[in-house]
Amino acid sequence: MEISREILTRVTILDISVILMYIIGIVALAQNFKKVSIRFVRFFVLIGITHLFFTFVYYFYTLNNVADSIGYYRRTLYWFDSWGETFGQGTTFIYFTLYPLIKYLGLTYFGSFFIYSFIGLFGFYYLVKVLIDIVKESWSNWFYLLLLPNLHFWTVATGKDSLIFFGISLLTYVSYFQKSWKNYLFPIIFIGFVRSHILLFILIAFGFSQLVLNKKIKLATKIAVFIVSLGAFYLLIPIVLDRIGFVDTESILSQLESLESQKMEGTTSIDMTDKNIIIKWLSYMFRPFFYDAKGVLALLASVENLLWVALFIKIFYNARNKFSEAIKNFYWFCFFAIFFVTIPAAYILVNLGIALRQKMMVFPFIIVIFFIGLESKKNGYKNT
């Protein structure tokens, strides 16, 4: 059943109330940084305003373009008669989180956007808390990386991206501050319900980091296990993705998959079937680049991707530094998580737009190890 534009553009008093509560929420979260400095209070307000702005931008964007959020809203509105029907993992979990907003609270398509957007904003909140501790509560202009347009654009909409960004940011926060094991349960379960394969790869990264850092295992054994594991990981990617049911039923990806055997005519579609995994990964992380740009949006994305290239160069350069024992385990866990999460995604890459969106989920890992690398160089950490 199609959904009319009138339903998609309807705004109620309740929706306006949600936006007002959103603004109050920004101020309330920002006040938690008051003990650090007023500058961080203002900075988080700036993050909140940016996030709110891109919520409006993305909402109006969906009205004139193919959007997963419209599909989620339409199906939840028409397909289900009870909340229990929506319980499940992956796409079904979005219906589960959206159902009470629509059927119980009476939010419209417009209003529901701001709930998911605020969940995404919570991801930034936990991320800022981690970064502030890394730099020992001192200001750095590198914090402005948290204002990257695409980072906000892809973490505001009704769908998996805003939820997974929040889940990974929260897990990063819990891991960094070494909270009690009970604090790990919610982010782990939450990530598992949103994208179970991402949870699997994060857990593999954690185990891999423990193997590398375990001093009781001989270096030769570590190298052998490392090589064998990488080879097995590469060979098993398609099998693992199939076994865990990695089928993304979101509308954009479904349309692209149906075109995979045909000539790709979309401006962001690329045929990567004959490329090796290294080329696929580089394309996933750093394209569209300037030579791919066929419009203003792609050109803007290229500028941002240039920053991603600079970030990774700096990360690899600073990885040579020695880290304090207190931070070393966390650093390498995040380092490995970036690759274990993005390599499988790059393996099935068919569209640069999807890559641009999905890679935002590893931004929490990227930004924290970037800051750790900068701080380690600044303070000259030595292993103890």
Shared domain for 229 and 134, answered yes or no, is: no
Select the more confidently predicted residue: 356 or 250.
356
Q: Is the pLDDT of residue 338 over 50?
A: yes
Range of the domain at 178: 1-194
Whether 323 and 202 map to the same domain: the answer is: yes
87 torsion bin: left (phi>0), alpha (psi -120 to 50), beta (else): beta
Give the range with max mean pLDDT: 120-124, 138-142, 180-184: 120-124
Report pLDDT for 257.
36
> What tens digit of pLDDT does each residue of 18-55 get?
999 999 999 999 999 999 999 999 999 999 999 999 99
Of 179, 194, 209, the residue that ends a domain is 194
Using the CB atoms, write b or e for 258-291: b if 16+ within 10 Å: eeeeeeeeeebbbebeeeebeebbebbbbbbbee
- Tell whether 12 and 33 lie within a shared domain: yes
* Same domain assignment for residues 291 and 371: yes
Same-domain check for residues 282 and 185: no
Beta strands in the chain (DSSP E): none
SS3 367: helix
pLDDT band at 324 (very low <50, low <70, confident <90, very high): confident
Judged by DSSP in three states, 266 sits in coil
Mark which of 173, 194, 215 sits at the end of a domain.
194
Calpha distance 23→194 (Å, rounded): 26
CB 47 within 8 A of CB 147: yes
Q: Please tell me the distance from the alpha carbon of residue 341 to that of residue 336, in angstroms, as a whole number.
A: 9
pLDDT recorded at residue 233: 61
Tokens of 56: 């409006």
Place of tokens 């996030």: 51
Closest to 352 in 3D by CA, of 307, 302, 309, 316: 302
Spatial separation of the C-alpha atoms in residues 120 and 77, rounded to whole Å: 23
> 164 and 246: one domain?
no
d(CA 21, CA 293): 39
pLDDT band (50, 70, 90) for residue 270: low
Q: Nearest CA to 150 among 305, 260, 43, 17? A: 305
- Gap between the Cα atoms of 261 and 348, Å rounded: 14
42 in the same domain as 31: yes
Tell me, what's the pLDDT at 295?
66
> Which burial class, exposed, middle or buried, applies to 58 when counting CB atoms under 10 A from its CB (0-12, 13-18, 19+)?
buried
Residue whose token pair is 């980072």: 151
Q: Which residues contact 287 (CB under 8 A, 6 or more apart)?
A: 270, 305, 352, 355
> What does residue 261 show for φ and ψ, rounded to 5 degrees?
-90, 0
The rounded distance, in Å, linking the Cα atoms of 156 and 133 is: 26
The domain boundary residue, chosen from 169, 194, 219: 194
160 pLDDT above the threshold of 90: yes
Looking at the fold, whether 51 and 66 belong to one and the same domain comes out as: yes
Alpha carbon dihedral 36, 44, 15, 160, in 10-degree steps, equals -110
Give the whole-number percent of the chain exceeding pLDDT 90: 50
Per-residue pLDDT, 280? 84
User: Residue 200: how many CB atoms within 10 A of its CB?
Assistant: 19
- Cα–Cα distance for residue pair 199/34, rounded to 1 Å: 34
Q: Tokens for 290, please give them.
A: 């300037």
Contact 30, 44 (CB under 8 A): yes
**pLDDT (average), residues 259-287:** 63
**Whole-number mean pLDDT of the chain?**
83
Report whether 301 contacts 150 (CB < 8 A): yes
Q: pLDDT at position 229, please?
A: 64
Q: Note whether 87 and 210 are same-domain residues.
A: no
Q: How many domains does the chain have?
A: 2
Give the residue carrying structure tokens 């800022």. Answer: 128
Q: How would residue 290 be classed by pLDDT, with cut points 50, 70 and 90?
A: confident
Average pLDDT over residues 294-311: 81
Confidence band (pLDDT; 50, 70, 90) for 374?
confident
Residues 238 and 312 grouped into a single domain:
yes
Using CB atoms within 10 Å of the CB of residue 24, give its burial: 0 to 12 exposed, 13 to 18 middle, 19+ buried: exposed
Q: Using CA of residue 239, residue 242, residue 246, residue 252, what is the dihedral sign?
A: positive
* Statement to judge: residues 138 and 66 lie in one domain: yes
Structure confidence by residue, pLDDT tens digits, 133-154: 999 999 999 999 999 999 999 9
Token duo for residue 192: 């598992």
Q: How many CA atoms lie within 13 A of 300 on its CB side?
A: 9
Q: What tens digit of pLDDT does each residue of 222-234 get? A: 677 667 666 666 6
- pLDDT band (50, 70, 90) for residue 66: confident
94 and 236 within one domain: no
> Residue 166 to residues 38, 159, 328: CA-CA distances in angstroms?
25, 12, 24
